[in-house]
Amino acid sequence: MSRSKSLFRSLICPPSSESIARAANAILEGKLIGMPTETVYGLAARGDMESAVDKIFAAKNRPRSNPLILHVADVEDAEHLFDIDASGIIAARLKRVHRFWPGPLTVVGPRDSQILDHVTAGGDTVAVRVPDHPVALELLRELKRLASRPIPVAAPSANRSNYISPTAPEHVAEGLGEEVAMVLDGGLCRVGLESTILFLGNASSSPRVLRSGGLSAEQLSEALGEPVGAPRQIQSSDSGDASPVAKESFVAAPGQFAKHYSPNTPVVLLSNDSGFAEQNSELPQNTTVPAPRVLRIVFGPLTREVSQGASEVWTLASDGRLERAAFELYGALRKADEGQFDRIEVVPCEETGIGIAIMDRLRRASQQE
C-alpha cells in the first residue's frame, strides 16, 4: 500500500460510540465526514449551514445546479422539512410512503421555508431521506441529542462529481481523504446503488420516479394507490450534460444528468441479440497498435459466447440474482478502473426490479462527454 493510501485509510474509524460522537461534533462544527448508508457512502455536512454545504460542492466539484438530499433520523423529522400544508394531496402521498422509511427512498416535495437555497439549487422542492443503516441512524440521533433539535444532514455520494459512487469506506478515504475529517466504517453498502427518488407531484400532477433504485415504480404505486410515472430512460443520443428529464424537472433531485456514475475507462453497452465477437469487430480498430485490453462484464453465468473478443470476463451475480449484481456493480467498476483496460464492455441485464436501476447507471456511465 502506498504511503498516501495508508495515510488516508487512517481516517477510517470503527463505528464506536466515541467515533460517532466525534463525527457528530465534526458535523456540528461545519466539517465534512464520510457517512455509511445502505445505498452508498455519503459526504455528510450540516444541511442547515451554508458554509458547510459550500464545502460539499467544492470537495466534489459538484455543479451548483445539482441539489442535495437531506438525511434525518425518522419520519417526524422528515415531515418538518416539507411544506405539507401546501396541498392535502401531498400530505396524503407522503404518509402513504412512510412505510419505506428507513430505507432506500428519497422523497421530493414542496420545501419548508427553513430549507437553504444552497441545498435545493434554488428550486421550490426539497429531497429528503431516512437512511436504513445503523451507523447513519445513530449519527443522526447523536446530532439531534447534541443540538437539542433535528439537524438535517446533506450527504451526496462521497466521490468527485460524475465518478463511481463509493460503497466501501476505503473508497471515500482514498477519493476524498483531503476533504473529510473522518470516515465512519459501516462496512460494504448492502444495496450498492443510490436511492430511488420519488417526486410527490401536486394537485394537478401524478407522482413519478425521478431516479431508479432499489424500490420500483410498481412498489410505490401499490403503496400510493395510484399510478406512478417511470423515470425517463437515458438514450445514446443524449448529451453529456443535463438530460431532458433534468430540464423538465428543474433538476429537482440528484441523478438527473445524462453522464454520471462513470469510471475513467470508457464503458460500452453491448446488445443481447447478436454475437459478441461481431459487435466487438464493429468498434473502431487500429491495426498499427496492439489489440485493446477489453474487460467484459456479464450478469449471470459465464459462457463461451460471452467470452469472445474479450481480454477478461467478469460475472456479477453468477446465480442471476440482480440484487447481488447491484451490490457488486460499483466495486467492480472501480476495480476495472485500476486494471489498465482500454474499455469496459457490458452485456445488459434484464430490466426488471433493481435491474432497471442497474441499467440506468450503466447507460449514464457509458455516455460520452
- Asked if residues 189 and 39 have their Cβ atoms less than 8 Å apart, the reply is yes
Beta bridge partners of 211: 197
Could you tell me how far CA 155 lies from the centroid of its own chain? 10
The confidence score (pLDDT) of residue 276 equals 56
Q: Is 129 labeled as ligand-binding?
A: yes
Q: Is 125 labeled as ligand-binding?
A: yes
The confidence score (pLDDT) of residue 352 equals 92
Q: Is 155 labeled as ligand-binding?
A: yes
- Within 8 A by CB and 6+ apart from 52, the residues are 27, 30, 31, 32, 45, 46, 154
d(CA 57, CA 119): 10
Q: Is 343 labeled as ligand-binding?
A: no
Q: Is 66 labeled as ligand-binding?
A: yes
The helix/strand/coil state of 362 is helix
Q: How many residues does the chain have?
A: 369
d(CA 185, CA 336): 23
Q: Is 111 labeled as ligand-binding?
A: no
| Regions of the chain short of the pLDDT cut 50 | 1, 3, 236-249, 281, 287
Mapped to the 3 state alphabet, what secondary structure does 233-262 carry?
CCCCCCCCCECHHHHHCCCCCCCCECCCCC
Q: Which three cell numbers stand for residue 227?
A: 399510478
d(CA 174, CA 166): 10
d(CA 110, CA 126): 6
Q: Is 24 labeled as ligand-binding?
A: no
358 φ, ψ (degrees, to nearest 5):
-60, -45
Q: Is 261 labeled as ligand-binding?
A: yes
| DSSP type of residue 232 | P
- Of 188, 197, 255, 191, the residue nearest 228 (C-alpha): 197
Q: Is 211 labeled as ligand-binding?
A: yes
The confidence score (pLDDT) of residue 147 equals 98
The confidence score (pLDDT) of residue 280 equals 52
Taking 3-state DSSP, the helix, strand and coil percentages for the chain, each rounded to the nearest 5, stand at: 35, 15, 50
- The hierarchical CATH code for the domain 3-248 is 3.90.870.10
The confidence score (pLDDT) of residue 240 equals 43
User: Alpha carbon of 238 to those of 62, 153, 259: distances in Å?
Assistant: 20, 32, 9
Q: Is 307 labeled as ligand-binding?
A: no
- Extract the runs of DSSP E, i.e. beta strands, from the chain: 12-13, 33-35, 42-46, 69-71, 105-110, 125-129, 153-154, 183-184, 196-199, 208-211, 267-269, 294-299, 312-316, 343-346
b/e string for 223-242 if b means 16 or more Cβ within 10 A? bbeeebbebbebeeebeeeb
The string of pLDDT tens digits covering residues 273-295 is 555 555 554 555 554 556 799 99
- The hierarchical CATH code for the domain 267-365 is 3.40.50
Terminal C-alpha separation, the chain: 33
Q: Where are the domains of the chain?
A: 3-248, 267-365
Instruction: Count Cβ atoms below 10 Å from residue 121 Cβ, excluding itself.
Output: 18
